[in-house]
Amino acid sequence: MWRFNAILLKAPGQKTFYVSGDTVWNELVELALNKYMPDIIVLNAAETAYEGIKGSSIMEANDIKKCYALFKNSKILVVHLNSYPHNKYTIETMKKFVEENNMKDRVIVPEDGEILKF
C-alpha cells in the first residue's frame, strides 16, 4: 500500500514549497511534484532501518538522487535526520552522500536549528 502525505505552500509572488511527510517515493509523490513544479522540495529522507523489517518507512537516499534528476529547477532540502535512532542517515552522513553524488548545487542538508531564507 502506498502512503502519501504532503503539504503544498503556494502564494502569489512567493516560492512554492512542497513538504513531504513520512512517506516513501511513489507515483503520487511524483505526480504532485510534476503538477506543481515547486521551487523548494522538502523531503523526509533519513531512510529508516528497523531490525527484522525490510524496506524504509520514509524516503531513502536514492530518492533524493531521483528527485534531483527529475526536478532540475528545484532546490531540495533533506530533513528528518538525527531525529530517531532507527534512521540510517544523520546530518553528517547525508551531507557526505550529497557531496559524493555531486548534488551540492541544489540539495541542502540543514543543521539542527538552522534558519534558511529563500
Q: Residue 2's pLDDT is what?
A: 53
Burial 22-61 (b: 16+ CB within 10 A, else e): ebbbeeebeeebeeeebbbbbbbbbbbeeeeeeebbbbbb
Has residue 70 been placed in a domain?
A: yes
Q: Is residue 85 assigned to a domain? A: yes
The CATH number assigned to the domain holding 27 equals 3.60.15.10
Is 118 domain-assigned?
no
Range 69-97 average pLDDT: 90
Query: How many domains are there within the chain?
Result: 1
Q: Quick one: pLDDT at residue 115? A: 95
C-alpha cell at 82: 538525527
Does this model's pTM top 0.85? yes
Alpha carbon distance 107, 118 (integer Å): 13
Q: Is residue 114 part of a domain?
A: no
pLDDT at 92 over 70: yes
CB 59 within 8 A of CB 25: yes
Domain membership flag for residue 117: no
Task: Kindly state the average pLDDT of the residues 54-78.
Answer: 92
Q: How confident is the model at residue 22 (pLDDT cuts 50, 70, 90)?
A: confident
